[in-house]
Amino acid sequence: MRAVAIKSFGGPENLAACQMPDPQPEVGEVTIDVEYAGVNYLELMFRRGFVAVPLPFVPGIEVAGHIRAVGEGVTDLQVGQPVAALTIVGQGGYAEVVRSPAALTFALDTLERPVDLAAAAAFPCTMITAYLVLSAAARFTPGDAVLVHAAAGGLGSALGQVARRLGAGQVLGTVGSPDKIAYAQAHGYDRVFLREHYREAVIAATGGAGVQIVVDPVGGNLRSESLEVLSVLGQLIVLGNAGNGEDTFQSTNGLWLSSKGVQGFNLLAVCLQAPEKIKDAARRVLEWIARDELHVPISGVLPLEAADEAHRRIEQRATTGKLILKIGR
C-alpha cells in the first residue's frame, strides 16, 4: 500500500512517501480502506521526536473510508461499511489501509442523514475533543461563559460551535492575528480578541465576573494568565502546548486560595482508558453534523504525497479549520 512515513525526526522534509505491507486486523479490530485522513498538530509532535516511536513510523490519528476486513470478535461493523475512526492508539492514518480498534470506529450509515467522507475524516479529533472537554472535563452547564484560545484553529472552530450548541451564555475567543477574527466569529464565537490584549477585554465583556471555563491548547504564559480571567470556581482546561512555551504554571496554593481549578485533557488517555466515552461522544457529534447543527471546517485538501506541505502550513500557523489528505483513488 501507499503510505507516508516519518523516516527520521525533524522537519516536514522527513516525511517520505513509501510502500508498506497492507495491515491485517487483529482481535477486536478492523482495517479500513482510507479515503481521507485528517492532519493534526499531534502528528507534528511525533515527527519532531517529542514522543519516542520506532522509525519508520506512519502518523495519522483520524481517517474516514470503508471497512476492508473485520477481526475476530467484531460484530457491529461489516465489510464495505462507511466509517470514520480515531486511529490515535496505533496511528497509521497516512496510508491507503489502516488498522483501527472497533471501539474507536464509528459507522456513518446508521445516521439519519449522510455525512460525506471528507467531513467524517476531519471531525473525530477536534469535535470529539471539544465535546468531551466541555461536557466531561469542564463540567459545563448551560449559561456558562467560555473562553477558548486559538479560536480559529481546527479545535477552536469545533469548541466555539459545540459551546454554542450546548447553550453557553457567552463564547469568547482569542487569535494570534487580526485576519483570523472573522473566521472565528463565523464558528460560534460572540467576540474574538487578539491574544496580546485579551485579559482586559474578557473582564470587560463579562462585566467584571470573568468566565467559568477557559480552554487552552497553546500553553506558555497563557496558562497563568488564563487564571486571571476565570470566575470563582472556574475551570482552566489544559490540553496541549502548541506554542512550545515553557511551563509557567503557578503553585497549587494559588488555586485553593482563589477557588479556581485546573483540569487536564488528553484524547489518547481517554481512548485507552474509557473508549466507551469516545464512542458516545462520536455518536452525539455525528448526529449534530448530520443535521447541519455543526459544521466541520475544512481549509484545504491535499494529496497524500503532500503531507509535508500540510505540516508546513500548520507550523507556519497559516491555516484555519482542518487540513485533510485525499488518499483513496
Helix (H, G, I), strand (E, B) or coil at 174: strand
Residues 109 and 171 in one domain: no
Residues 70 and 173 in one domain: no
> Does 284 have pLDDT greater than 90?
yes
Structural domain ending residue among the three candidates 266, 284, 308: 266
Burial tier of 252 (Cβ tally within 10 Å: 0-12, 13-18, 19+): exposed
Residue 170, domain member (yes or no): yes
261: domain CATH number is 3.40.50.720
Residue 278, domain member (yes or no): no
> C-alpha grid cell for residue 313?
502550513
Q: pTM for the complete prediction?
A: 0.93
What total of structural domains would you count in the chain? Answer: 2
Mean pLDDT along residues 151-168: 95
Mean pLDDT along residues 237-250: 74
Residues 107 and 224 in one domain: no
> C-alpha grid cell for residue 160?
466555539
Query: What does the pLDDT look like over 170-189, one tens digit per residue?
Result: 999 999 999 999 999 999 99
Residue 65, domain member (yes or no): yes
Residue-by-residue DSSP string for 36-64: EEEE-HHHHHHHHTSS--PSSB---SEEE
Helix (H, G, I), strand (E, B) or coil at 123: coil
Query: What does the pLDDT look like over 27-60, one tens digit per residue?
Result: 999 999 999 999 998 899 999 998 888 999 999 9
Residue 290, domain member (yes or no): no
Residues 258 and 317 in one domain: no
The overall average pLDDT reported for the chain is 94
Residue 82, domain member (yes or no): yes
Mean pLDDT along residues 157-163: 97
Q: Which domain holds residue 200?
A: 126-266
Residues 112 and 134 in one domain: no
- A 10 A CB-CB count for 186 gives 15
Q: Which of 35-39, 253-257, 271-275, 305-309 has the lowest mean pLDDT?
A: 253-257
- A 10 A CB-CB count for 65 gives 27
Mean pLDDT along residues 105-130: 96
Mean pLDDT along residues 302-319: 92
Residue 315, domain member (yes or no): yes
Residue 186, domain member (yes or no): yes
CA–CA separation, 210 and 231 (whole Å): 5
Contact 193, 200 (CB under 8 A): no
Structural domain ending residue among the three candidates 248, 266, 284: 266
Mean pLDDT along residues 258-285: 96
73: domain CATH number is 3.90.180.10
Residues 150 and 31 in one domain: no
Q: Which of 125-139, 236-250, 289-303 has the lowest mean pLDDT?
A: 236-250
Residues 259 and 310 in one domain: no
Residues 142 and 158 in one domain: yes
Looking at residue 262, what is its pLDDT?
A: 94
The listed range with the strongest mean pLDDT (50-59, 85-94, 95-104) is: 95-104
Residue 303, domain member (yes or no): yes
Residues 177 and 245 in one domain: yes
Helix (H, G, I), strand (E, B) or coil at 29: strand
Structural domain ending residue among the three candidates 249, 266, 283: 266
> Does 247 have pLDDT greater than 90?
no
Residues 113 and 130 in one domain: no
Residues 215 and 315 in one domain: no
Residues 119 and 155 in one domain: no
